[in-house]
Amino acid sequence: GEDVEQSLFLSVREGDSSVINCTYTDSSSTYLYWYKQEPGAGLQLLTYIFSNMDMKQDQRLTVLLNKKDKHLSLRIADTQTGDSAIYFCASLTNNNAGNMLTFGGGTRLMVKP
């Protein structure tokens, strides 16, 4: 089955750019997603990219997809303290059970003032 990996932790200073990386294993992945989780809350969809795209930009967020290397990244420009949260990468694949999302373990982003 699909396996999604992320680094555990990232620390940046306010105003810097943050880059969170993710790798996945299933080349049949159709969509890839980034979710944000703040303390005690559910997961909030930040952005997604279709597997035939290389890049998607949405305000301060830039998603880069290298399908050959099965590598996804999320860049947050001008990182703010409010961006401190856990970020989950997820891959959508289709199997006998239908469409399923496989999540990475999450990257905790800490933004220092």
Partner 1 sequence: DGGITQSPKYLFRKEGQNVTLSCEQNLNHDAMYWYRQDPGQGLRLIYYSQIVNDFQKGDIAEGYSVSREKKESFPLTVTSAQKNPTAFYLCAISDTFRGYTFGSGTRLTVV
Catalog residues that contact partner 1 under the rule CB under 8 A: 31, 33, 35, 40-45, 48, 88, 90, 92, 97-101, 103-106, 108
30, 93 contact by CB (below 8 A)? yes
- Taking the complex as a whole, the smallest distance from the CB of residue 104 to partner 1 amounts, in Å, to 7
Identity of residue 90: A
C-beta closer to partner 1: residue 14 or 101 = 101
CB atoms within 10 A of CB 30: 13
Q: Taking the complex as a whole, how short is the minimal distance between the CB of residue 100 and partner 1, in angstroms?
A: 8
Cα separation, 110 vs 113, whole angstroms: 10
Whichever of 41 and 82 has its CB closer to partner 1, that residue is 41
CA–CA gap between residue 67 and residue 109 (Å, rounded): 25
Q: Minimum Å distance from CB 15 to partner 1?
A: 27
